[in-house]
A and B are shown apart, each in its own frame.
Chain A
Amino acid sequence: MTQSAIGVTRVPLSERAGVIRSLQILVMLGFVGTWEILSQVGVLDKFYYSRPTLIVPTIAEWITQPGTTLFRDIGVTLLETVLGFAIGTLAGVATGYAFARNHLLGAAFDPLFSMFNAIPRLVLAPVFILAFGIGLASKVALGVTLVYFIVFFATFTAVRDVDPAFIDNVRILGARRRDVTFQVLLPAALSAIVASLRTSAGFAFAGAVVAEYIGSNEGVGRRIAVAEAFFDSTGVFSGIVLIAMLALALDGLLQLVESRFSRWKPRRER
């Protein structure tokens, strides 16, 4: 905030919600408009890059088509995301916690985990499809491997680095082992999970979509693969737009969850 000469506090332009929102809309419209115009005048080849005025009707058709499978596809992708996220998180928390509490275990597995973590895990998608088939399992498996390491390392660091003063203090206050676990260690782990929630859920979603794209007979990733097979760039872009929308919605939802669980944190750490 700045003080004007007459002593009235004024919110600078850059901090006004209305101004920011208008600029954001302007930038989006500019992007879509440029795309459309470049395509209309022929700078961008419509065959490869499609154009917004073709994409919007295609998505509308997907939605309104009689007997549409769009919602089933979305449902399948979201189910894979949720399962990959839930299983990856549970496994990550359990092992991250155990490794942080048991130094020997942590030390023994450190090289192996570092190696697995170094593999770009999207390349495992074909392996999982071969191993688990083109159904749900291979998509969930890819999501799990992506989510697992994020949650494992977040939990491991959070539990290992718990301030020993917290533990000493609750022990003096009469905490038993169980109380130390439930009042100090698990809340510290939970805070790490919440902090990594948006990243890990985003990866679960990406894992599901990529695995669908590579080998599946349903899901939104599958739509892109099908469109691609028919050289239908409008279909490919419609699928991408759809995925972006879903990802945004998912992230917005998780932001709500995150802020609900972060009330105790200083603002700059949220």
Chain B
Amino acid sequence: MTEAVISLHGVSKVFHPPRQRPYVALEGIDLDIQAGRFVSVVGPSGCGKSTLLALVSGLLPATSGQIVLSGRPVSAVRSDVGFIFQRDALLPWRTVRENVALPLRFRGVPATVAGSQVTEWIARVGLSGFADNYPHELSGGMRKRAQLAQSLVNDPPVLLMDEPFSALDVQTRNLMENELLELWGASRKTVLFITHDLEEAIALSDELVVMTAGPAGTIKARYPIDLPRPRSVTEIRFSPAFVALYERAWNDLRDEVLRSYQRSLSAS
């Protein structure tokens, strides 16, 4: 067995919002992800999925427990990961080309070298005709492509994705999912993918992690997914193995979604 690239042991996160009671977002998270694996996390909204990614990337400090990324404990923001945010994070006042070039600029890569890398990545995500456009001039799907190029231009070994395609229409989403699998197949990065869409999670991943409802969200179940690759996310949904897995995982997830819903009702 290869060494884990992402490993969490006994990780918890407590928020202390001003003038409110502390809120336990995550508790007792143990998770090891081997190099090159594609792991998806599903759970009801508010269960702490985004918080989990913030902890792994070092954007937020864990309250307790140990997080190790690529062999080094996480103690500050890690720029050796790619992070695709749920919301658009491209700088609106920069063109696609300038946005994709940012990480190279921050690292002091000479402009000539950066230029060719940027052009190559823009082409790889299919945005060659739009390099000099501003984000608002692109469709939602194109903006996600630009963000992929921006996150991958440095070639980080780990890719963290927070519901990246949730705002896209179904056709665009399926297209993007297939392209993501292609990119991943070519590079075999370690991917931690957050979604609330169980179908998407199973279709993409090697492993599925189901979380419990918050507060104190934790891991409820893990399912290995041994569906053959390469996959087409649009077709794999019809395979009997997919359907069987979906049913088992849905049983787990449904309970948590209901629990989360009831808690939100009693809280309000």
In the assembled complex, the Cα of A172 lies from the Cα of B154 at a distance in Å of 11
For residue A164, give the distance in angstroms from its CB to the closest CB of chain B. 9
Q: Which residue of A lies closest to B54 (CB)?
A: A168
CB within 8 Å of B: which residues of A?
A: 163, 165-166, 168-176, 179, 183-184, 187, 191, 263-266
| A–B pairs, 26, beta carbons within 8 Å | A165-B85, A168-B54, A169-B89, A169-B90, A170-B91, A171-B77, A171-B79, A172-B57, A172-B59, A172-B77, A172-B78, A172-B81, A172-B82, A173-B79, A173-B151, A174-B106, A174-B107, A179-B106, A183-B91, A184-B91, A263-B134, A264-B92, A264-B94, A264-B95, A264-B134, A265-B92
Residue contact A176 to B106, C-beta cutoff 8 Å? yes
How many angstroms from the CA of A166 to the CA of B92 in the assembled complex? 9
CA distance A173 to B150 in the complex (A): 8
Interchain residue pairs A-B with the least CB separation, the first 10: A169-B89, A174-B106, A173-B103, A174-B79, A264-B134, A266-B136, A172-B83, A165-B89, A264-B93, A171-B77
The answer for the CA separation of A9 and B254 in the assembled complex, in Å, is 54
Give residues of chain B (27-82) contacting chain A, Cβ–Cβ below 8 Å: 54, 57, 59, 77-79, 81-82
| B106-A191 in contact (CB<8A) | no
Residue of B nearest to A163 (CB): B87
Output the nearest chain A residue to B153 by Cβ-Cβ distance. A173
Size of the chain B interface, CB-CB below 8 angstroms: 29
Please classify the interface of chain B as helix (H, G, I), strand (E, B), loop, or mixed, using the class held by over half of its residues. Answer: loop
In the bound assembly, the distance between CA atoms of A166 and B89 in angstroms comes to 5
Chain B residues, Cβ within 8 Å of A169 = 83, 85, 89-90
Known: A165-B88, A264-B94. 16 other contacts (CB 8 A): A163-B87, A168-B83, A169-B89, A172-B77, A172-B78, A173-B79, A173-B103, A173-B154, A183-B91, A184-B91, A187-B93, A263-B134, A264-B95, A264-B134, A264-B135, A264-B136
**Does B102 touch A at the CB level, under 8 Å?**
yes
State the Cβ distance, B156 to closest chain A Cβ, in Å. Answer: 9
Smallest CB separation, B225 vs chain A (Å): 27
Contact, CB under 8 Å: A175 / B85: no
What B residues does A168 contact at CB under 8 A? 54, 59, 83, 85, 89
CA distance A175 to B89 in the complex (A): 14
- CB <8 Å contact, A165 and B93: no
By the criterion CB–CB under 8 Å, are A172 and B91 in contact? no
Which residues of chain A have C-beta atoms less than 8 A from B82's C-beta?
172
Instruction: Identify which of B57, B81, B87, B102 contacts A183 (C-beta below 8 A).
Output: B102
- Alpha-carbon distance between A202 and B81 when the two chains are bound, in angstroms: 48
Pick the most buried of A166, A169, A170: most chain B CB atoms within 10 A of its CB: A169
Distance in angstroms between the alpha carbons of A265 and B94 in the assembled complex: 10
CB distance from A167 to the nearest CB of B (A): 9
Q: Which chain B residues numbered 121 to 169 have a C-beta less than 8 Å away from chain A?
A: 134-136, 150-151, 154
Cβ contact within 8 Å between A173 and B81: no
Inter-chain contacts of A191 with B (CB < 8 A): 93
Report the Cα distance A70→B103, complex, angstroms: 55
Partner of A187, one of B81, B89, B91, B95: B91
A168–B89 Cα distance when bound, in Å, is 8
Q: In the complex, what's the smallest C-beta–C-beta distance from A259 to chain B, in angstroms? A: 14
Residues of B within 8 A of A175 (CB): 102, 106
A171 to B103, CA, bound (A): 9
How far, in whole Å, are A176 and B82 apart by their CA atoms in the complex? 16
Give the shortest distance, in Å, between A11 (CB) and chain B (any CB).
24
B91 to chain A: which residues have CB within 8 Å?
166, 170, 183-184, 187
Question: How far is A171 from B154 in the complex, measured between Cα atoms in Å?
Answer: 14
Least CB distance from B114 to A in Å reads 13
Report Cα–Cα, A183/B134, bound state, in Å. 15
A94 to B168, CA, bound (A): 40
Q: Is the CB of B102 within 8 A of A171?
A: no
Q: Provide the bound-state CA to CA distance between A184 and B150, in Å.
A: 16
Q: A165 to nearest B CB, angstroms?
A: 4
Q: How far is the CA of A179 from the CA of B95 in the complex (A)?
A: 17
B106 in contact with A173 (CB, 8 Å): yes
A170 vs B94: C-alpha distance in the bound complex, in angstroms? 13
Q: Chain B CB within 10 Å — which of A166, A172, A174, A176 has the most?
A: A172
Q: Which residues of A contact B79 (CB under 8 A)?
A: 171-174
Nearest Cβ on chain B to A178's Cβ, whole angstroms: 10
Give the distance in Å from the alpha carbon of A174 to the alpha carbon of B89 in the complex.
14
A265 touches B136 (CB 8 A): yes
Min CB gap A57→B, angstroms: 50
